[in-house]
C-alpha cells in the first residue's frame, strides 16, 4: 500500500509550469488501494494453477486477460480468465481510496477527467463502488479497447472521449506498463509510488502520495498545485 506520508513531489515543479486540458487516471494503485484484494485473488489462482506467483511483479499493470493468456495459453484461457475474474469480483474487502485521491479528483471540473484502467468494466465498477470513490463519468476499461496497457489505446480513447488532444493531457499512473502507455499516447505523466519504487517509474514527475496536490482551473486550463508545505524527498543513493 502506498505511503500515507506526503513526501515532496519529485520534479513536480516542472509540471506546475504546464497547463492541461484534461487529466487521465489509472484506477488500481493510483486512485484506489485494491492491492490486498488483488493479491489474495491472484495468489489463490496461482496456487490452483501451480504457478510461481512472482509473475505478478513483471506483469503488474497489464490487463488480466493478457496475463492469463501468457501464463496458461489459448486452450485454457477462457476458463482460467473466468476463474480470476470471479475471484476478483467477490473480494472487495478493504478496498479504499488512496490518500489524496478524492480531493485531487474533486478539484477537476466535470468533463475534464477520465479513468483508463486495465480492469474490465464490471470489475472497475465494483472497485469504484467498494472504495466509495466519486469517479469521473468517463471510465475506459479493457472492454473498450483492442489492446490494453502498455499499448496507448486506453489513454487515446479516454482523450477522445473527453474531446481533447492527448498531448494536452496529464496521466496519473502507478505502474511502468501504464506509464509506457501514456508515453506512447503522447501524454505527460505524473507517477505515484507504492506498487513500484520511484526508480522504476520513468515519469515527468513522481510523488509518494497524491496528498497535498490539487488542480486549479484558469480560463479552462488545468494547473497542478501543491496545497501544503512538503519536506524534500531524500536524494536517491
The residue ranges of every structural domain in the chain are 12-33+95-226, 35-90
The pLDDT-based confidence of 57 (bands split at 50, 70, 90) is confident
More confident residue, 9 or 92: 92
77 to each of 24, 38, 62, how far by Cα in Å?
30, 19, 16
Active site residues: 26, 28
pLDDT tens digit string along 178-222? 999 999 999 999 999 998 899 999 999 999 999 999 999 999 999
Copy the grid coordinates of residue 76: 485454457
Superfamily name with CATH number, domain 12-33+95-226: HAD superfamily/HAD-like (3.40.50.1000)
Determine contact, residues 218/211, Cβ cutoff 8 Å. no
List, for residues 125-141, the tens digit of each pLDDT value: 999 999 999 999 999 99
CA–CA gap between residue 185 and residue 188 (Å, rounded): 9
> Does residue 236 surpass a pLDDT of 90?
no
Q: Which of 237, 206, 225 is nearest to 7 (CA)?
A: 206
Tell me if residue 216 falls in helix, strand or coil.
strand
Amino acid at each position: 500500500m502506498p505511503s500515507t506520508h506526503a513526501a515532496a513531489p519529485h520534479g513536480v515543479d516542472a509540471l506546475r509550469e504546464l497547463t492541461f486540458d484534461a487529466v487521465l487516471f489509472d484506477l488500481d494503485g493510483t486512485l484506489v488501494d485494491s492491492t490486498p484484494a488483488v493479491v489474495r485473488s491472484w495468489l489463490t489462482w496461482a496456487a490452483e494453477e501451480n504457478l510461481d506467483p512472482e509473475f505478478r511483479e513483471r506483469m503488474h499493470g497489464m490487463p488480466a486477460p493478457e496475463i492469463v493468456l501468457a501464463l496458461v495459453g489459448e486452450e485454457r484461457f477462457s476458463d482460467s480468465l473466468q476463474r480470476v475474474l470471479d475471484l476478483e469480483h467477490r473480494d472487495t474487502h478493504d478496498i479504499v481510496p488512496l490518500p489524496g485521491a478524492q480531493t485531487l479528483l474533486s478539484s477537476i471540473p466535470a468533463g475534464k477527467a477520465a479513468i483508463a484502467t486495465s480492469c474490465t468494466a464490471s470489475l472497475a465498477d465494483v472497485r469504484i463502488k467498494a472504495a466509495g470513490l466519486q469517479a469521473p463519468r468517463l471510465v475506459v476499461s479493457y472492454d473498450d479497447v483492442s489492446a490494453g496497457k502498455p499499448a496507448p489505446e486506453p489513454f487515446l480513447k479516454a482523450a477522445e472521449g473527453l474531446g481533447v488532444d492527448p498531448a494536452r493531457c496529464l496521466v496519473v499512473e502507478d505502474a511502468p506498463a501504464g506509464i509506457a502507455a501514456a508515453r506512447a499516447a503522447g501524454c505527460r505523466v505524473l507517477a505515484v509510488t507504492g506498487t513500484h519504487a520511484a526508480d522504476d517509474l520513468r515519469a515527468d514527475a513522481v510523488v509518494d502520495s497524491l496528498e497535498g496536490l490539487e488542480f486549479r482551473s484558469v480560463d479552462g486550463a488545468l494547473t497542478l498545485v501543491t496545497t501544503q508545505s512538503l519536506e524534500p524527498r531524500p536524494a536517491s543513493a
